[in-house]
Amino acid sequence: MIIDKLFERVAQRGVVCVGLDTDFEYIPKSFADQFENLEDVIFEFNKRIIDSTLDTVGCFKVQIAYYEAYGLKGLRAYAKTLKYLRDMDAVIIADVKRGDIAKTAEMYGKAHFEGDFESDFITVNPYMGMDTIEPFLPYLKNKEKGLFALVRTSNRGAEDIQYINSLGGSKIYGIVGNKINSLGKDYLGSSGYSSIGAVVGCTHRSEARELRKSLESTFFLIPGYGAQGGKAEDVALYLNRGNGGIVNSSRAVLLAYKGKDKGDEKFDIYSREEVIRMKKEIVEICSKLEGGLK
């Protein structure tokens, strides 16, 4: 199952997920000026980042909004980036956050699990109801695909809805998480984790251990590290012996060259250095925690 491939990649290459949230403004002008069109600029920048970090990250997450914003040229860069990642046998998360039902969701599955936009995992939003997930399930069973469902997100506004107490006293995110964990038991891999994972932001530390314990077979996609304020000490609480989750970093990796000597020329090298620094920091914290790395 695809979750076992991701689990093994984390074990072999580390817990970092590079987020290819590639805004044109992030790309050094001296590099962009080498190309005639936007499509090539974005793709070639991504390619340099991928080549520099592939052997030291668990996976890559490609946020579609950054490509949709540039219209057809941006989407062609998105498709070329995904194809290159597939050619390199990278594990790919397409961050598309789909959350519709019935035939519409079925078409989203076809769009992002097949054809030009094919990826290994996609992000989905189950807050419209669990029937938003059902149309994707045949891909998990028959096509070696996976999902990451929003459970407890990293943004400040998560408290507006996700933290509301139900009549039974449970918070909404806890109810959603338990439903995801229960559904995921039908898609367990040999790693003990399910191909239905959860997006769990690391910016809310107080309930980290409770979430990790209650969602024992759910693999976490963990945003919020770095630019959103999450620290290695927060991230480690959502992991299990240094695995069981993947920690996304986008801007910190893509913009690592800023302010560095010859940064524009060596942006990919500085991205690699940031990944290695981040990975080392998280491993060191995990090793200090009970149940951490051995």
pLDDT in tens, 188-242: 999 999 999 999 999 877 888 899 999 999 999 999 887 777 889 999 999 998 9
Domain count, the chain: 1
Say whether 97 is catalytic.
yes
Residue 144 within any structural domain of the chain: yes
Residue 60 within any structural domain of the chain: yes
Residue 54 within any structural domain of the chain: yes
The pLDDT confidence band at residue 95, using thresholds 50, 70 and 90, is: very high
| C-alpha distances out from residue 173 to 59, 209, 230, Å | 26, 15, 19
Residue 293 within any structural domain of the chain: no
Q: What is the pTM of this model?
A: 0.95
Residue 103: alpha-carbon gap to chain centroid: 26
Residue 135 within any structural domain of the chain: yes
Of these residues, 97, 143, 179, 231, which one is catalytic? 97
Residue 228 within any structural domain of the chain: yes
- Residue 136's domain comprises 2-288
pLDDT per position as a tens digit, 1-53:
999 999 999 999 999 999 999 999 999 999 999 999 999 999 999 999 999 99
Number of H helices, E strands in the chain: 13, 8
Query: Which amino acid, one-letter code, is at 293?
Result: L
Mean pLDDT (the chain, rounded): 94
Residue 206 within any structural domain of the chain: yes
Region 238-247: mean pLDDT is 95
Q: Work out the percent of the chain whose per-residue pLDDT is above 90.
A: 84
Q: So what's the pLDDT on residue 219? A: 98
Token couple for 29: 């002008």
CATH number at residue 78: 3.20.20.70
Residue 254 within any structural domain of the chain: yes
